[in-house]
Amino acid sequence: MDYQINNGVAAVLRTIVYYDIFNYPLTEKDILNDCGISKEIVSPCRDALKFLVDEKIVFRLGEYYSLNNNYKDVERRIKGNEEAKKWIKKSQRFSHFISWFPFVRGISLSGSLSKGFVDEDPDIDYFIITKPNRLWVARSLLIAFKKIFLLNSYKYFCLNYFIGQDNLEIEEKNLFTATEIVTMIPVFGNHVKRSFFESNDWIKSFYPNFEVDEMEDVPFNKSYTLKRLLEFLMKGKMGDRLDAWFMKKTVRHWANKYGDSFSEEEFLITFKSGKNVSKHHPQNFQKKVLEKFNQKLKEIETQHEIKIENILVELN
């Protein structure tokens, strides 16, 4: 007969299942301290982890836990964690360079690198905050540099998400976006970083223990001479018209290239575009991850005769 799991088991299972989508085993520290478990249930969660192992819902592989009884996943994680340390150093150099571009006010690393892991064929994902009403100018200048000087390579210069400084709250509020936010690594724009996390305190409904790391080594915005000059030349109505033109041109390009591959609703989410937001994720990764998450939970329900509807997520 099906039985309802308690909050401790649900919290542990949610965390392990989510990272299992990426074949990424977790340590007990990952689960208890870093993955959204409120302080009040830390002790019961240790019992929950033992319960999940005893019931063979979760496997213990040395100090790691996974849905799969496969130690190769552990070896892959260890190797990927070591490789990420090298890529973090590379990303910091590129982040410093991005900070020179006009209207860039904050930069964070996102994607797998921000979670301390690099697999084969890696790239560096950046989340960039711009001056209000100049997002599309900043984005277009960075994309132009990538295409001309980096031959459109995504390896060191993956620019998929931009938001304006007066539009810091992320609209999609779900497990995927919350996880991306809490694992971000801010590398430029210290005061912008604090404002961003304050504007997205909704993430605590998924990660109640999350606290902003003050990280004094995150540089504040610096005003370079050439950057100041370019920003001066593009201020006022001329800059407004230029920003609007870049936005219109880019959105038209995306519609022509990808419009037939998505429904209208999916296109608006996957290529979210507004005066102060630009999201370009043609693989629709968010939806795929959330669908896999629910699918894995339902498989566990069926196989082990437990009820876990309380941690299923909405696909938006």
Sequence spans of domains, the chain: 3-69+288-311, 87-283
Q: What is the dihedral of CA 172, 176, 182, 184, to 10 degrees?
A: -90
Q: Angle, to 10 degrees, between the axis of helix 285-304 and the axis of helix 175-182? A: 110
d(CA 80, CA 74): 10
- What pLDDT is stored for residue 170 in this prediction? 95
Please give the model's pTM, rounded to 2 decimal places. 0.89
Burial (CB < 10 A; 0-12, 13-18, 19+), residue 255, is middle
The amino acid sitting at 130 is T
Please give the Cα distance from 240 to 93 (Å, whole number).
31
- CA dist list (Å): 48 to 44, 285, 296: 6, 30, 19
Residue with tokens 């904050």: 106
Angle at the Cα of 110 from the Cα atoms of 108 and 111, rounded to 5 degrees = 170
Encode pLDDT of 82-104 as tens digits.
Answer: 999 989 888 888 888 899 999 99
Say how many CA atoms lie within 13 Å of 226 toward its Cβ. 4
- The parts of the chain modelled with pLDDT lower than 70 are 1-6, 33-43, 151-155, 214-223, 309-316
CATH of domain 3-69+288-311: 1.10.10.10
Residue 47 and residue 217 in contact, taking contact as beta carbons nearer than 8 Å? no
Question: What pLDDT shows up at residue 1?
Answer: 37
Whether 166 and 132 have beta carbons less than 8 Å apart is answered as yes
d(CA 101, CA 120): 30
Tally of CA atoms within 13 A in the half-sphere of 286 that contains its CB: 25
Count of CB atoms situated within 10 Å of the CB of 8: 20
| Cα maximum dimension of the chain | 70
Cα 183 to Cα 18: distance, rounded to the nearest angstrom: 14
| Strand runs labelled E in the chain | 3-4, 26-27, 59-61, 64-66, 104-110, 125-130, 158-164, 185-188, 273-274, 277-279, 306-307
Q: What are phi and psi for residue 166, nearest 5 degrees?
A: -100, 15
Contact 227, 100 (CB under 8 A): yes
